[in-house]
Amino acid sequence: MQKTSSVKLPVQTPEGLKPMKVDVQEIDANLVIRKQQALMQAKANATPPVVEPIKHRDYRVGAGDVLTVIVWGHPDLTLPTGNFRSAEESGTVVSEDGTIFFPFVGVLKVEGKTIPQVRDLISQRLSPYIENVQVSIRVAAFRSKRIYVAGEVESPGVYAITDIPMTVVEAVNQAGGFTDNADKSRVLLNRNGELTLLDLLAVYEYGDLSQNIRLQNGDILTVADNQLNKVYILGEVKATGSLTIRNGRMTLAEALSDSGNIDMETANPYQIFVVRGGETPEIYHLSAKEPDALLLAEGFPLQRRDILFVDTADLVRWNKFISNLTPSRNFFELDTSADNLLGTGGGGGSTFNPL
C-alpha cells in the first residue's frame, strides 16, 4: 500500500495553503479507538451557547396585545361578548404607545407590566368609585411578540410568543416539525444580528438542554437542509453516486451497504479508500479482504463531503487494457486488407487511383 498521496494536495500551514503530499492512514483497531475517543472528547469540550436558562416568567404586556378586563358585579364596565363577538373582538387593544383606556380610570400605561401588575393598577384606580372592587384580566390575543421560523420545517411562518415560554423545540413543533430533508444538527438562531448555531439532534438523542434555549421577540430560526451532508461513492461498487448522512451518523460499512456493496467481480477489496478534504486533507485506507475487517468499517464514522473509493482489481484492469488493444489490432488488420483489395498494398500490383 502506498504511504502518501500520489499527488500534492492543498494543506493549510501557518504560512498559508501549500501543496503537500498527505500520509495515507491505515484503518485499524487503533485508529478506530482514537476516532471514538476524539469524538467523545469533542462532545465533552463543546461550549454550549451562552443563553438565558429556561424558567417560567409572567407574560409582559406589549403593544398590540388584546386584554379582557372584567369588573365583577359591574357588567356596565365590561364590554359584552356573545355569539357574534369573540373575546378578542370585544377586548381592549394595547395601543402603539403601550397604553389602554378604561372607564373611570382613564389612560393607563400597561406595556412591560405583567397581568397581576395591570390588575392591581386598575383595582387601585377604581377603588375610589367601587367598594371592594374585584378585577379579572387575561390576554385575549397575543400580538406583541413573535418569532420567525424558516427553512426545513413543514409550515414556515410567523408564530406568536404567548404566556407559555417559547423554546427552540416548541417553535419547531409549532411549525409542523422537521421535513425529511432537515439537518437537525444545524439550526441557526438570528438574534439581533448575532448568529448562534444550535444542535437539536443533541437535544433529542443526548438530552442536551443547553441547545433548547428560550426565544425572544424578533428571533429568527432557520433549519438547514441536508444538501451538504453527503458522502460520494466512487469506484467498483454496485451503485455509485451520493448518499445523505441522516441524523449526523453514517459509518463506512453503512455507506458500502447502501451503495449496493462492493462489486466482487471487479473490485479489489484490499484497496478501499476514504478521502476527506478541508484545510487539512486526510486519506484513509481499509483492506477488507477478510469479512471480519468490515467490523473496522462499522466503527469508522464518515463525515459530510467524504469521498469513498473502491479500487479496481489488477486483473480486471489488465483485461480492460487488453480489450482496448484488440480493436486497434483489428483496425490495422482491416486497413491492410483494404489496401490489398484496392491494390495499394505492397508487391507489383497496379496502383488504384479513384481520380
Report pLDDT digits (tens) over 73-125: 888 777 555 444 455 566 889 999 999 998 888 899 999 999 999 999 999 99
The fold adopted by the segment(s) 66-141 is wza like fold (3.30.1950)
Q: How big is the chain, counted in residues?
A: 355
Give backbone dihedrals phi and psi of 271, rounded to 5 degrees, phi first: -120, 80
Q: What is the pLDDT of residue 182?
A: 93
% helix, strand, coil for the chain, step of 5: 25, 30, 40
Residue 212's identity, in one-letter code, is N
User: What's the whole-number mean pLDDT along residues 120-147?
Assistant: 91
Which part of the chain has CATH 3.10.560.10? 9-30+228-314, 164-225
> By the 8 A CB rule, do 151 and 175 touch?
no
Over residues 263-305, the pLDDT tens digits come to 888 999 899 999 998 888 999 999 987 788 888 999 999 999 9
Q: What is the model's pTM? A: 0.69
d(CA 205, CA 93): 43
Report the 10 Å Cβ neighbour count for 236. 21
Q: Greatest CA span in the chain, whole angstroms? A: 138
Q: Which residue has the cell 459509518?
A: 251
Closest by alpha carbon to 50, among 189, 156, 159, 239? 189
Q: Quote the mean pLDDT of the chain.
A: 84
Class level of CATH domain 9-30+228-314: alpha beta
Class level of CATH domain 164-225: alpha beta
Which part of the chain has CATH 3.30.1950.10? 66-141
Q: What percent of the chain has pLDDT over 70?
A: 83
d(CA 306, CA 230): 7
Predicted confidence (pLDDT) at residue 353 exceeds the cutoff of 50: no
Over residues 220-262, the pLDDT tens digits come to 999 999 888 999 999 999 999 999 998 888 999 999 999 998 8
Grid coordinates of 142: 397575543
d(CA 171, CA 158): 10
Predicted confidence (pLDDT) at residue 181 exceeds the cutoff of 60: yes
C-alpha pair distances (Å), 345 with each of 45, 328, 341, 353: 81, 19, 8, 13
Predicted confidence (pLDDT) at residue 329 exceeds the cutoff of 70: no
d(CA 256, CA 245): 13
C-alpha pair distances (Å), 55 with each of 58, 160, 287, 339: 10, 18, 54, 94
Helix (H, G, I), strand (E, B) or coil at 186: strand
